[in-house]
A and B are shown apart, each in its own frame.
Chain A
Amino acid sequence: MDAILGFFGFIQGLGVSVMMPIIITVIGAALGVGLGKSIKAGLTVGVGFIGLNLIINNVLGTSLVPAVTTMVEKFGLALSIIDVGWPASAAIAMGTTVGMFIIPLGLLVNLVMLFTNTTQTVDVDIWNYWHFAFTGSIVAIITNDLTLGFAAAVINEVIVLILGDITAPQVEKSLGMPGVSLPHGFTAAFAPIAMAVNWLIDKIPGVRDINLDVQSMQEKFGVFGEPIFIGTIIGVIIGCVAYFDPADIMGSITLILTLGVSLGAVLVLIPRMASLLMEGLLPISDGASAFIQKRMPNRAKIYIGLDSAVGVGHPVTLSLALILVPVMLALAVILQPLGNQVIPLVDLSVATYMLVLVTPIVDQNGFRGLIVGIVVLAVGLLIATYMAPFQTAAAVQSGFDIASAAGSANAQISSLCDGANPLTFIFVFLSNINGFVCIGVTGVAAVAFAIWNRGRILKEAKELHAEA
């Protein structure tokens, strides 16, 4: 058992960029794509993920975080909970007992769901199973019962895989990623909110007719509607708010323009990384298709479940994420009377992941995306505040160094990812009532959801094979 756990712990420690090529290679070879082609596909996907992570976390993160820190200092925004960022949440999640077992457990749940036709997603993004471990770990801490923690992690995975299935057609259509679903524990959790707000907007005359998509932006604003200009302009505006100092005009201009050009470059380069991923995945998804044709001739379409990073390249998602940076800070202050105590800092670039499924759900309408984004952020900040004591307790239990992350061992910590996760919040909220109530309510909901999904999948398979 120790050896098995040690193996999965080693795999986990490699990180997504190393793990994804290995998994893609193994899956490709198992599907009969051929070892050489599978290795090539795996490496291409790995390079794509390195590129996306570099641009999102390093270029975007390192450009935005100092600007926002300056804004916070300049405007004297003082809130008591420190956003320590998603790497801290992942470390907390994987440092617990639930985290130690999450990869084999997650794989088993996925296999069972595939064989019972309750999901169409082969979730190869096993690194992101940590989101399920995060939920499970916090439930285990609140209820002081490890079994309930494991049950919560499994239920969370079931719900997220189904959300991945039902949003996959929109992902294929809007993000141009055929055969891909995004069963990402953080991103998928915002899909129901986006669906609800989108439905609500559909009911409001006048508002429902407002459409601001990339094409109309480009038609209306000419070259200034191009992603490179949108990124640069938003960067310059954020830079002006953060860095403009009448005492040092030249220094301010340098900082402002650097931020503008960096964000413009981000909007140009990220879509190219998505192309790289698509090139890498093509042989694997064709291999999966051929495998199903040959071995499981009556099955519905199968999706390859990937990290939501593959969807951040959409210009609407990226533009919204940048626009929402100052909005996020304003919301943090505005929501203070309602209880918000979280000031978003390290997880600023995470807003991009929140919006990945929002863009397809609102049919790439930037106006609706902005409304959904504001709602999602407002809800997220309040959830992150609610979650902070539990996240801090989990951090202490898993041996996370709070003092070096937050500046004081007594500080309360949170993060947007997964501290602001609405699904995790439901588990935590119900666990605070009673652990068995939590597992009972969410378990029944997950089973009902799975039965409904099975019916949908079987219907789709029937339609698909009626064509043959």
Chain B
Amino acid sequence: MEDAQSLDRMPEGKTYVYNARRYLFDVKVPAVVAAIAFFVAGYFALAGMFTPIAIGVMVLCVYVLFNTLVAKTYPQTAALVDGELRLVSFGRTDVYRVDEITRLQVRENAMTHNAYLRVNGGGLLRGRYFVGCGDMYDENGEKALDLYQFFLDTEARLDPDNIRVRSRTVESRKNAKKN
């Protein structure tokens, strides 16, 4: 029953694209800042100035650049088409058949509607995503709230006993009562 409901609510056939300006400031600018900081810190490390701090900064910059450009964790486009979840970032498209997703771990920000996802456990190079549903829009200019809800519903469908999922259900029921 829960399965069917969750799949029924799936916003099938919809493609959401990150607002271009927001993507620039949320994803591209931090990557550029990290790249610059990496070289500046590298210079300091080689010159023997603030070496431990400089190495620390370099490690963090590598994390930012790796996530953005290698693991491609910040999708610019997300689509639910033909029973597939498609996430596109910097030219790479990751495709997951919805009925083949066995595990979806979601850490949501209810305020901004952004979500951190791990699909099927997630890996170093594929399966981890920061999806900015609050800044993504479909062709009609509607925010990707359906997509955000789809992630939550899918996690609830696959792991209904999870205490966070239950807590979320209780919270949304309370909020619905309040409103």
Q: A51-B60, A54-B56 are in contact. Are A278 and B116 (CB under 8 A)?
A: yes
Give the number of chain A interface residues (Cβ < 8 Å).
45
A81 at the interface (CB under 8 A from B): no
State in angstroms the CA–CA spacing of A93 and B33 once bound together. 38
A279 within 8 A of B: yes
CA–CA, A364 and B110, complex, Å: 13
Bound CA span A223–B63, Å? 26
Other-chain residue from B56, B105, B109, B170 in contact with A176 (beta carbon distance below 8 A): B109
Across the interface, do B56 and A51 meet the contact criterion of CB distance under 8 Å? yes
A282: B residues at CB distance < 8 A? 105, 107, 116, 118
Scan residues 140-164 of chain B and give those whose CB is less than 8 A from a CB of chain A: 161-164
Least CB distance from B110 to A in Å reads 5
A125-133, A148-156, A268-276, A331-339 - the one binding chain B: A268-276
CB nearest neighbor in A for B124: A40
C-alpha gap A337/B14 in the complex (Å)? 64
Complex Cα distance, B2 from A468, in Å, reads 13
The yes or no answer to A301 lying at the interface (CB within 8 A) is yes
A54-B57, A54-B60 known; A463 vs B109 contact (CB < 8 Å)? no
A434 at the interface (CB under 8 A from B): no
| B72 close to chain A: CB less than 8 A | no
B97 on interface, CB distance cutoff 8 Å: no
- Scan residues 207-241 of chain A and give those whose CB is less than 8 A from a CB of chain B: 218, 223, 226-228
Contact with B along A450-468 (1 / 0, CB 8 A): 0000000000100111011
A175 proximity list for chain B (CB < 8 A): 109
B161 x A275 contact (CB < 8 A): no
In the assembled complex, which residues on chain B have CB atoms less than 8 Å from the CB atom of A31? none
Q: With A and B bound together, what is the CA distance between A227 and B22 in angstroms? A: 11
On whether the beta carbons of B107 and A47 are closer than 8 Å, the reply is: no
Q: Cβ of B130 and Cβ of A275 under 8 Å apart?
A: yes
Cβ of A268 and Cβ of B114 under 8 Å apart?
no
Q: Give CA–CA (A85, B162) in the complex, Å.
A: 43
A145 beta carbon closer than 8 Å to chain B: no
A255 at the interface (CB under 8 A from B): no
CB contacts (< 8 Å) of A465 on chain B: these are 166
Q: Output the residue of A276, A289, A293 with the most chain B CB within 10 A.
A: A289
- Residues B107 and A269 in contact, CB atoms below 8 Å apart: no
Establish whether residues A279 and B29, one from each chain, have CB atoms under 8 Å apart when the complex forms.
no
User: For residue A172, which residues in chain B have a CB less than 8 angstroms away from its CB?
Assistant: 110
CA distance A265 to B161 in the complex (A): 42
CB within 8 Å of A: which B116-140 residues: 116, 118, 128, 130
Knowing A54-B56, A282-B105, A301-B167, say if A272 contacts B34 (CB, 8 Å): yes
Q: B59 interface residue, CB < 8 Å from A? A: yes
State the majority secondary structure of interface residues on B: helix
A74: Cβ under 8 A from any B Cβ: no
* Bound-state Cα–Cα, A293 to B169, Å: 16
Interchain CB contact under 8 A, B111 and A174: yes
Q: Report the bound CA distance from A177 to B108 in whole Å.
A: 8
A58 touches B (CB below 8 Å): yes
Contact A272 B60 (CB under 8 A): yes
CB <8 Å contact, B56 and A293: no
Q: Does B10 contact A (CB under 8 A)?
A: no
| Interface presence of B101 (CB below 8 A) | no
Q: Is the CB of A273 within 8 A of B60?
A: yes
> A50 on the interface (CB 8 Å rule)?
yes
Interface pair A289/B60, CB less than 8 Å apart: no
Contact assessment for B25 and A226 in the assembled complex, using a CB-CB cutoff below 8 Å: yes
CA distance A286 to B165 in the complex (A): 11
Contact with A along B20-48 (1 / 0, CB 8 A): 01100100011001100100000000000
Q: Are B107 and A176 in contact (CB under 8 A)?
A: yes
Query: Which residues 385-414 of A have a CB within 8 angstroms of B?
Result: none
Contact B128 A279 (CB under 8 A): yes
Given contacts A228-B29, A282-B107, A282-B116, contact A179 B164 (CB under 8 A): yes
Contacts of B164 in A (CB 8 A): 178-179, 285, 289, 301
> What residues of A have a CB within 8 angstroms of the CB of B33 in the complex?
228, 265, 268-269
B122 to chain A, nearest CB (A): 9
Docked-complex contact A272 and B63, CB < 8 angstroms:
yes
Known: A226-B25, A268-B33, A279-B128. A467 touches B107 (CB 8 A): no
Is there contact, CB below 8 Å, between A47 and B59?
Answer: yes
Q: Is the CB of B64 within 8 A of A293?
A: no
- With both beta carbons as reference points, the residue of chain B lying nearest to A290 in the complex is identified as B162
Residue A292 interfacial (CB < 8 Å): yes
A275 close to B29 (CB less than 8 A): no
B95 within 8 A of A: no
* Cα of A228 to Cα of B27 in the assembled complex, Å: 12
Which A168-200 residues sit within 8 Å CB-CB of chain B?
169, 172-179
- Chain B 44-85 near chain A by CB (<8 Å), digits 1 or 0: 000000100100110110011001000000000000000000
CB distance from A22 to the nearest CB of B (A): 18
Q: A265-B33, A275-B130 are in contact. Are A464 and B163 (CB under 8 A)?
A: yes
Q: Is A293 within 8 A of B111, CB to CB?
A: no
10 additional contacts (CB under 8 A) given A58-B53, A173-B110: A54-B57, A173-B109, A176-B108, A178-B107, A268-B33, A273-B60, A276-B60, A286-B162, A292-B163, A464-B167
A residues lining the B interface (CB < 8 Å): 47, 50-51, 54, 58, 169, 172-179, 218, 223, 226-228, 265, 268-269, 271-273, 275-276, 278-279, 282, 285-286, 289-290, 292-293, 301-302, 364, 460, 463-465, 467-468
Q: Which 7 A-B pairs have the closest CB atoms?
A: A176-B109, A51-B60, A289-B163, A226-B25, A268-B33, A54-B56, A173-B110
Contact sample, A vs B, 20 pairs, CB 8 Å cutoff: A47-B60, A47-B63, A51-B60, A51-B63, A172-B110, A174-B111, A176-B109, A177-B107, A178-B164, A223-B21, A268-B33, A272-B64, A279-B116, A279-B128, A286-B162, A293-B161, A301-B167, A460-B170, A464-B167, A467-B169
